[in-house]
Amino acid sequence: MAERIHALIGAAGYVAPRHMEAMKRTGGALEAAFDPADSVGVMDRYFPDALFFTEFERFAEHLSARRHSPRRVGSISICSPNYLHKSHVTFTLGTGADAICEKPLAMQPEDIDELAALEQETGRKVNTILQLRLHPSIIELRDKVGAGRTVYDVDLTYVTARGRWYYESWKGDDRRSGGIATNIGVHFYDMLTFVFGAPVVNVVHHRAADCAAGYLEFERARVRWFLSINRRDMDGADGFALRAMTIGGIGCFDFSKGFEDLHTVSYREIAAGRGFSLDEVRPAIEIVSLIRQAPLDRHAGRQHPHLARVLADAGRYDRGRPV
Amino acid sequence: MAERIHALIGAAGYVAPRHMEAMKRTGGALEAAFDPADSVGVMDRYFPDALFFTEFERFAEHLSARRHSPRRVGSISICSPNYLHKSHVTFTLGTGADAICEKPLAMQPEDIDELAALEQETGRKVNTILQLRLHPSIIELRDKVGAGRTVYDVDLTYVTARGRWYYESWKGDDRRSGGIATNIGVHFYDMLTFVFGAPVVNVVHHRAADCAAGYLEFERARVRWFLSINRRDMDGADGFALRAMTIGGIGCFDFSKGFEDLHTVSYREIAAGRGFSLDEVRPAIEIVSLIRQAPLDRHAGRQHPHLARVLADAGRYDRGRPV
Amino acid sequence: MAERIHALIGAAGYVAPRHMEAMKRTGGALEAAFDPADSVGVMDRYFPDALFFTEFERFAEHLSARRHSPRRVGSISICSPNYLHKSHVTFTLGTGADAICEKPLAMQPEDIDELAALEQETGRKVNTILQLRLHPSIIELRDKVGAGRTVYDVDLTYVTARGRWYYESWKGDDRRSGGIATNIGVHFYDMLTFVFGAPVVNVVHHRAADCAAGYLEFERARVRWFLSINRRDMDGADGFALRAMTIGGIGCFDFSKGFEDLHTVSYREIAAGRGFSLDEVRPAIEIVSLIRQAPLDRHAGRQHPHLARVLADAGRYDRGRPV
Amino acid sequence: MAERIHALIGAAGYVAPRHMEAMKRTGGALEAAFDPADSVGVMDRYFPDALFFTEFERFAEHLSARRHSPRRVGSISICSPNYLHKSHVTFTLGTGADAICEKPLAMQPEDIDELAALEQETGRKVNTILQLRLHPSIIELRDKVGAGRTVYDVDLTYVTARGRWYYESWKGDDRRSGGIATNIGVHFYDMLTFVFGAPVVNVVHHRAADCAAGYLEFERARVRWFLSINRRDMDGADGFALRAMTIGGIGCFDFSKGFEDLHTVSYREIAAGRGFSLDEVRPAIEIVSLIRQAPLDRHAGRQHPHLARVLADAGRYDRGRPV
């Protein structure tokens, strides 16, 4: 197989090194990278010969100049702020390359339709990084759940403390990240559709900059979910599970290790033509889109047990800057 | 001793984590940090409660609002691009805090005079990170060299490969970094003054974006120096020393390990009132200022043995973008 | 009187030329200007010798270096996005200069208290541009209304079409401008307190990116107000007044001409020590702060006659990007 | 003829309003505009319904989404900093639109070759704004000069004072503008090739941030040229011509009026398929490229009479920031 030539959008961000690692380990090369910020010394570890641009237009021109060369870029990896994913995927397909996009692929379900039309038109593919689907325990769980008629009771809890910087960064800006359900929760909603089938009910109980909670029903699960980046929610004094999914009758799945190291596996699958397609991505995008817009209704569905604690406690948290 | 309250300018850059580590290890706290780029997730590891700002004016306002509080910031650490160091030190003293500034403290010797006047006026201190002076082997060397009348023959070689991104970043922009002699070499010129006394001759043989070389005389040394960030200069086929200083009659000092981990020691010294002062910093700033402006003269002084190789080879290197 | 030495923050923006014109006409000089954008060719018309900076820190350093010179800056004019006004005023007082700040001076009433403390501490003055208070007709109106016991019925209407660019700029971003009531309406609320006394009732009927409406009571007026930047509201088919204040029993005041040319008068008043003080500014800041946060209540107070039209019409407008 | 649908890159800059005016007057419409700076209130005067973007990627996505619509953009006008022109023209052709690019079209002659290949590949056209070629007096002059064998002696002088801001803006940065010969002089070199034929000798006498001078020979002219943006050169004490071309035996052409108002004529010509082509643009790009790189040689060719004054006077000018 010919060496895969990559480009990278968002080279100075948090997740970019995982992509460079994955490119390296799957035998790929990085031709060019872009980021408006220039703190990209990490490139030395992986691809010191890659070109780097701080202006998108010059990056685009470089790819254009290479499009007829034997070393043309075949795949562009997208690690930009969420609200730019769709623009960057559109750009990617326009250059004649496939996209490997970080989650969430897009902000709205309609975006998926537009990208599908572009896939059709260009003959290129949009792949999304959805690494939980590649985690052996999740695959095992899906096999156990199967396509049966059992409907499981699931509690999904994910607490991961983030400091005040988070709220000042694009991740803390709803218009650029979509908020924590869209930015962090999407991993889990996607995994839930993968394991338990199509979503059928979506109720939001709480939605704040630091914490969100709600109730989701899938074909084979009733899920009380709770997400938080507030350190307050880290103290397990009352036996608070921090990063876990408990599935009635099956047991408990621990998210605190391993699941974020699956970029290399993702790249391998993509190279083999098994990247996750737009249709696979769509349900989770529909879920987060709804979660962003749904009116809060604390009486519908079932509340996650930790929510009461948060609501009682609302005053305790100071993010330094109101949303 | 009361806890030292720090602020940090340049939190998203390469060297910032070393400062946070040093603050933490010396029992300090980080009150607020600034960087125009928002990729600062590393703050979670050290100081998640620190405020973070992407706009300098809001950072400045916050410090101003705290200036009469018991938790006022006593010290601001400066990790910004070199050409802003002086502006940031000026700002720091104006807030009533001491400065802990990355090297080079300033671009011009006159800047040192202005900062000295500000120190006088504000009663605050400007400390510069010059970690080689704190390295046990360098201290030992200085003791060995002593204040005698011997003049040593020294070859100083420092090759550290940097990828193409470097030339697109502020580090590769002469107006923002001063070029590699100012940005990287300053470590070594400072150490040479520390060990061998005042500079007396300064000749530049070569000055390019990727490589510089010259000849310096100090009270107690004649130094042929060679700096490169070009990978071409990394292949030691001909026994090319990569990161070393050889001192005739004494031996060889290896820079390839250890000397970049001295930020905590630096902070400890500063806390004890033994930070490096403006007068100590001045000779190295004079040296780099001269190196930037001196006409090239390949026949003056003595050439470093690797220079010939570079000159013969000038065509072999392509940085992707001319200076 | 000695020539007044000015500096200017926000030199590339829309309102900056009025400040330069006013400086020039009142015999002042511009020493230095700052804007992150560099499209400031207009400076050639007024002050070609002024220094210009695109980095705040370098601008600040320059002012600091001049603070003991005979040409030290005595006054800094602030034309930045609204959310930075307070930071820039704080900076200004810290340099030992007076501030001349565009409206709104600050986003929150508490900000005024903090600035008052800074005025006290530094002995410098914060002036706000509130040009309607200097308009001869408004002064005449205030004299007519006097301090009597009559309570007037007032309709205030201000429609000024802005294109789609507005919503993409800082002016259309609630977090940076405060929205149209804060950014545009503040002129009128301030004028109303100036003419009709302290506010006593504040009801908001409608609050959108393009249009806001509500009801305000002052000591001597009951005001139905309507603001719009939507071109839809420009067509006067039904005799829609576009920029006017009608005062029952007095007549109609036309805002469509003249009131935006009063910067020179403002500067002259400030030079004479008669700039508008924090106490004068406060009521309008309290009004806009409330307008931003108040729950919408369409049944309280009295509705402006144009509001019904807007509410019926909500679907007709497409700004290209939802808030 | 169908309405021409335009897009605009660089909407917040100095020259953008002339393009919007020309679009309007030639019956065109503006669909979308881009600029990283958001001070674009001038759009209200011409095209309030145009979309506006501060991020290039979102602008590009919008054009892509429209490419099959009946209102697809047929022409993109480029008013960005010079060093980005080529990237923006490349982008434009890639969207299937024609380019209308401000001068200088590109920095290097090789760029023209690459753009020619892209024109071939996409079937779209690159037009450059070279308005002097459309000035009636210049056309008349060219007719008078004709294709005869006379070689004229020409003095070209263009002094236009720019304040200190210029050196801090992209226009004063050689890497982004190319310096004053490339940024301003290109108008005149192009006009000279238009009137006097192909360039044959190119000597540079002086090249500074504020002033450049040299000697050019064309088929039918020997030209001593002098460009300055330094106010020092504005005082005509010694009868210094400021903006003129004197042609031996023909007379004097005055540049001080009229020649910058020709954008509408340019757009009309372009609409009629008579835009200036890459081949017409090439000689001036070759001239400025040479002027940037040529070694200074004060003894070759003939010196412009004002140059001596500048050289004698070198110390009198202070730009506030060294190049």
Tens digits of residue pLDDT in B2-54: 689 999 999 999 999 999 999 999 999 999 999 999 999 999 999 999 999 99
Instruction: Work out the angle between the directed axes of helices B263-271 and B16-25 (0-180°, nearest 10).
Output: 50
d(CA D252, CA D254): 6
C5-128 and C132-316: identical CATH topology: no
State pLDDT tens for residues C135-167: 999 999 999 998 788 999 999 999 999 999 999
At residue A240, the pLDDT reads 66
At residue B320, the pLDDT reads 32
Q: How confident is the model at residue B310 (pLDDT cuts 50, 70, 90)?
A: confident
What residue ranges in chain A does DSSP mark as E strands?
Answer: 5-9, 29-34, 51-53, 75-78, 98-101, 126-128, 152-159, 199-207, 211-218, 221-228, 243-247, 251-254
Exposure string for B300-318, b = 16+ CB within 10 A, e = fewer = bbebbebbeebeeeeeebe
State pLDDT tens for residues C66-100: 998 988 999 999 999 999 999 999 999 999 999 99
**Selected residue of A14, A15, A35, A38 to mutate for chain B interface (largest B Cβ count, 10 A):** A38
Q: Which chain A residues are within 8 Å of B164, Cβ to Cβ?
A: 48-52
At residue C320, the pLDDT reads 32
Report the mean per-residue pLDDT for chain D. 92
State pLDDT tens for residues B268-292: 999 999 999 999 999 999 999 999 9
Q: Which chain C residues are within 8 Å of B88, Cβ to Cβ?
A: 57
Which chain A residue shows the shortest CA-CA distance from B51?
Answer: A164
Chain A contact for B168 (CB, 8 A cutoff)? yes
**Selected residue of A58, A59, A61, A119 to mutate for chain D interface (largest D Cβ count, 10 A):** A61
Right CATH for D132-258+279-316 from 3.20.20.70, 3.40.190.10, 3.30.360.10, 3.30.460.80: 3.30.360.10
Chain C contact for D15 (CB, 8 A cutoff)? no
Most confident range, picked from A138-147, B247-256, D173-182: D173-182
At residue A323, the pLDDT reads 27
State pLDDT tens for residues D200-209: 999 999 999 9
State pLDDT tens for residues D8-19: 999 999 999 999
Parallel/antiparallel/unpaired status of strands A199-207 and A251-254: unpaired
Q: Which of A64, A86, A87 sits opposite D90 (nearest CB)?
A: A64
At residue A224, the pLDDT reads 97
Q: How confident is the model at residue D319 (pLDDT cuts 50, 70, 90)?
A: very low
Chains in touch with C (≥3 Cβ pairs < 8 A): B, D
Residue A320: pLDDT above 50?
no
* CATH 3.40.50.1820 at B5-128, yes or no: no
Beta-carbon contacts of A75 under 8 Å, excluding residues fewer than 6 positions away, are: A4, A5, A6, A7, A28, A97, A98, A99, A100, A270
Chain B contact for C173 (CB, 8 A cutoff)? no
Question: Average pLDDT in the B170-194 region?
Answer: 96
d(CA A34, CA B164): 12
Question: Average pLDDT in the A115-138 region?
Answer: 95
For chain D, domain boundaries:
5-128, 132-258+279-316
Chain A contact for B44 (CB, 8 A cutoff)? yes
Exposure string for D249-272, b = 16+ CB within 10 A, e = fewer = eeeebebeeebeebbbbbbbbbbe
Assign 3-class secondary structure to chain B: CCCCEEEEECCCCCCHHHHHHHHHHCCCEEEEEECCCCCCCCHHHHCCCCEEECCHHHHHHHHHHHCCCCCCCCEEEECCCHHHHHHHHHHHHHCCCEEEECCCCCCCHHHHHHHHHHHHHHCCCEEECCHHHHCHHHHHHHHHHCCCCCCEEEEEEEECCCCCHHHHCHHHCHHHHCCHHHHHHHHHHHHHHHHHCCEEEEEEEEECCCEEEEEEEECCEEEEEEEECCHHHHCHHHCCCCEEEEECCCEEEECCCCCCCCHHHHHHHHHCCCCECHHHHHHHHHHHHHHHHCCCCCCCCCCCCCHHHHHHCHHHCCCCCCC
State pLDDT tens for residues B89-98: 999 999 999 9
Q: Which chain C residues are within 8 Å of D44, Cβ to Cβ?
A: 161-163, 165
Q: How confident is the model at residue D93 (pLDDT cuts 50, 70, 90)?
A: very high
Beta-carbon contacts of B36 under 8 Å, excluding residues fewer than 6 positions away, are: A37, B12, B54, B55, B56
Beta-carbon contacts of C267 under 8 Å, excluding residues fewer than 6 positions away, are: C19, C22, C23, C25, C26, C28, C100
Beta-carbon contacts of D53 under 8 Å, excluding residues fewer than 6 positions away, are: C168, D32, D33, D34, D59, D62
Report the C-alpha dihedral over residues C74, C80, C82, C84, rounded to 10 degrees.
-70
At residue D237, the pLDDT reads 53
State pLDDT tens for residues A150-164: 999 999 999 999 999
Least confident of A21-25, C33-37, D234-238: D234-238
State pLDDT tens for residues B196-254: 999 999 999 999 999 999 999 999 999 999 999 998 888 665 666 788 999 998 888 88
Backbone phi and psi for residue B186, each to the nearest 5 degrees, phi listed first: -55, -35
Q: Is the ipTM of this complex over 0.85?
A: yes
Chain B contact for A322 (CB, 8 A cutoff)? no
Provide the CATH number for the domain formed by C132-316 in this structure: 3.30.360.10
Reading the block at residue D236, the tokens are 């005509």
- How many angstroms separate the CA of residue B52 from the nearest CA in chain A? 5
Q: Which chain D residues are within 8 Å of A54, Cβ to Cβ?
A: none
- Residues B215 and B303: beta-carbon distance below 8 Å: yes
Report the mean per-residue pLDDT for chain B. 92
* CATH 3.40.190.10 at B133-259+278-316, yes or no: no
Chain C contact for B57 (CB, 8 A cutoff)? yes
Instruction: Please answer yes or no on whether D50 and C164 come within 8 Å at the CB atom.
Output: yes
Residue D68: pLDDT above 70?
yes
Chain C contact for D252 (CB, 8 A cutoff)? no
Residue D1: pLDDT above 60?
no
- Residues C321 and C168: beta-carbon distance below 8 Å: yes
Least confident of C228-232, C291-295, D7-11: C228-232
Report the mean per-residue pLDDT for chain C. 92
Residue D236: pLDDT above 70?
no
At residue A319, the pLDDT reads 41
Q: How confident is the model at residue A311 (pLDDT cuts 50, 70, 90)?
A: confident
Give the CA angle between residues D35, D38, D42 to the nearest 5°: 90
d(CA A274, CA A225): 29
State pLDDT tens for residues C247-288: 998 888 888 776 667 999 999 999 999 999 999 999 999 999
Q: Which chain B residues are within 8 Å of C57, Cβ to Cβ?
A: 56, 84, 87-88, 91
State pLDDT tens for residues C177-215: 999 999 999 999 999 999 999 999 999 999 999 999 999
At residue B271, the pLDDT reads 95
At residue C312, the pLDDT reads 79
Greatest pairwise CA separation for chain C in angstroms: 62
Least confident of A15-29, A237-251, B63-77, B160-174: A237-251
Question: Average pLDDT in the B177-186 region?
Answer: 97
Burial (0-12, 13-18, 19+ Cβ within 10 Å), D187: buried
Question: Average pLDDT in the A110-123 region?
Answer: 97
